[in-house]
Chain A
Amino acid sequence: MTTTADIHEPTFLAGDEFSIPTFRLLKQDGTLFDGARAPDLEHDKALAIYHAMVATRVLDERMLAAQRQGRLSFYMQCTGEEAAVVGATAALDDADMIMAQYREQGALVYRGFTFDEFMNQLFGNELDYGKGRQMPIHYGSRKLHYMTISSPLGTQIPQATGYAYGQKLAGDGKCTTVFFGEGAASEGDFHAALNMAAVHEVPVIFFCRNNGYAISTPSIEQFAADGVAPRAFGYRMHVIRVDGNDILAVYSATQEARRIAVENNKPVLIEAMSYRLAAHSSSDDPSGYRSKKEEEAWREKDPILRMQRWLIDLGWWNDDEEKALQESLRREVLETMKRAEKRPPPPLDSLVTDVYADVTPELQRQLDALKTHIRQYPDAYPKGARSLDPDVRAGDDVAAKGGE
């Protein structure tokens, strides 16, 4: 419904009428801005958040190195955006749904996805919940309420609106948070999602990680507007812009957004301003499209360092603890990586399962023909052949399947 006053001159609005401020609590030196009040964050929770941010950073560093060594086909880092992802996740109920894009491993770390679970997906071994079907970083966890990642951009945004509408009908007091980048927000799916969420009063939080780049495309070539936030007005939706490198601001904003979503059944848009410090992926080289100087300026705004300083000021953290944490995380990453690398691939039958609930007769015929072919040329298909050979299979240390 449109309800506005009449005018009798052709007076246009230019789109510059709204200026959206940025919510910030923590300065880079770890102290609060004047007049800023830290959210209620008790000692254990603060340390859990910090631990998840550091663990994400260490995982990313080691796995990129593993990719460079040729042990892994592909990798994507969350580096620079840990506060945005972990801070938002920490402000949710652990049973709220998360639909992520592909750079939100910090959310999983916070919710307790183990390094073994990460590694099994990264190496696509037989314990990977996704059965070795997707590229590295396409995690999913039913028990942690984290929807399996899909590569096509923006598709998860309207799905989140639908999922959250179902949660509202179920009346379980849960909501859905959907992460996406400022590039994906250009997809038609973004607009469909926000409009439907506002019309149907859906408890969904749209969390935009504005990290400055969509692969090589800077945000200035992505939209003419002041970021993504002003679009919320067009759908009549609550919106806040937050410093994405400020863990306290992200946590506090998401906590309030969740309250609005769950108590009032209103969708909320959060635009977290940050920077993708790493390349888009291991296949990308940012030196072709941005300067070292620009990267350095953002490196100084490191969200982990900012939180660490705050924790040290509070007396909740010290250098020895930092050193011990870094060392234990590195060791754990290496150990779990070695374990996952050695595990066998998923069995050949997994080629045809899950296409439908039941394997169709035609797919069964295709699988049978493939098995006959592989028996004829076992050396050409080592992964497939090993799962046809009962002697090899019997030697495997087959642990209980996760499937969660």
Chain B
Amino acid sequence: MKHLALIVILLMMTTQIEASAKGAYEIYQKDKSKSRDKKIAHELIDGSFYFSAIPYINNYLENNNEIDAELEADIETLVLKTGTMAVLNLEEKRLESFNNPSISLILGTRLFAKEQNTKAYEILSRIPDSHQFSAEAALIKGTIRNLERKNIEALNLYEACVNKSTAQENSSKGEKLKRYYNYLKETCIIRSARVNIEEKKYEQALLIYEKIDKRSYKWPYILLDQAWANYYLKDYNRTLGLTTTYKSPLLESYFFPEAEVLTALSYYNMCLWDDSLKVVDHFYDFYKPKAEALKEILGNNKNSNNYFLDLYYADSATRDNLNPFIRNLVTQTRKQVKFNLDLSSLKAAKDELALLKRLKNKNDFTQSLEVNLGSTIEFVSAKINYYIKKEIFTFINEIHKHSFSMFNLKLELLSKKRDDIYNAKALEENTRERGSDKNVKRKTSHYFFDFNGSFWADELGDYSFGLNSACPVSKTNE
């Protein structure tokens, strides 16, 4: 019975698809009016040929200024189904003339990427508060105010983003949409915490971070933020505990060179020069060969339009043969929203092409749709390939940036060690108590576990070291 229902649904869908393609072909042949492209696009969208509809929507918008209710709904569907591809061929100047929420979101995002923040803010403000894209618009607008150091406005916008995305999450029916709005909500919560860190309100920031669930996709990223807040609160043991969490096998695909620098800095502030030096030396041993290997891969394949995308599709054994580090980097990249959206766009475009090829009545119209779709698939593939390449490039730059920080720290450490020798200061490293519960600062919201040499998922993020500072005790009260 179930199979029969499925077959009936499939038959109905196929009939509708065929009818839409036929309808579009008829308009293509007979209609000579100004709105021909709009009508063709509408027919194609009705038949789920979203990517095929893009050139017709773009052609219409290039030459016409009016957007009626039907076209507005079609544009929104296209944005949801194809992302920023919907109005890809239109220039910013042209897009600016439309007061349409979907177009405003795409244009605002484009302008933000080009650092035209004032214009981007203005365009994004056109999106009504009740619209489904308003949460995302509030996030970008908050980021703009944050960059301008207008923190009160930024906090208000982030709060609005949290409220709007919570409402959208509750009202959405699809699981994917719910996940997306949850992602937006958590991003905006984290942004509020970051503004507090920037304003040196570290305790307040740590309280906000506690709102993020440990199972959340965003959670591994906030460990580093929390570590910085604790560092500025001079709770170096807690900082060390948080950065050590990245050593857990569960988080092996997350690597932040900055976390290594923060670990070394925490030891440094506890006057544990040798511990700090060990972290510095480990940083160079660990990251240098990886940076060189990645640089070589980038250099050898800089002109390829598919090498990095193929890496994503390659099985883990193939990736390991090339460089074990690549596997983790690709894993981290595939967790990005943009990457997933582009990848599902690529899959949808390929499915659409297969659908076109299966159509019974072939003609010059369907032929041109196939050619256009082929170019779209090529473009999306190159776009994803470029994205992975850029991620690798950014990662190499991060390593280089933090190598410089580590170099400065090493010089400081050697200088401190030399001073100790000049001052004949006995460090007594071996006899010093390495750790004690007495040195752990606790709060009511903290859990307490003993670390027995293995990481447990429910303990992650709650670690604290119990090291005693080796710095001379100041006689004056701070």
User: Are A and B bound to each other?
Assistant: no
Q: Give the A-binding residues of B (Cβ under 8 A).
A: none
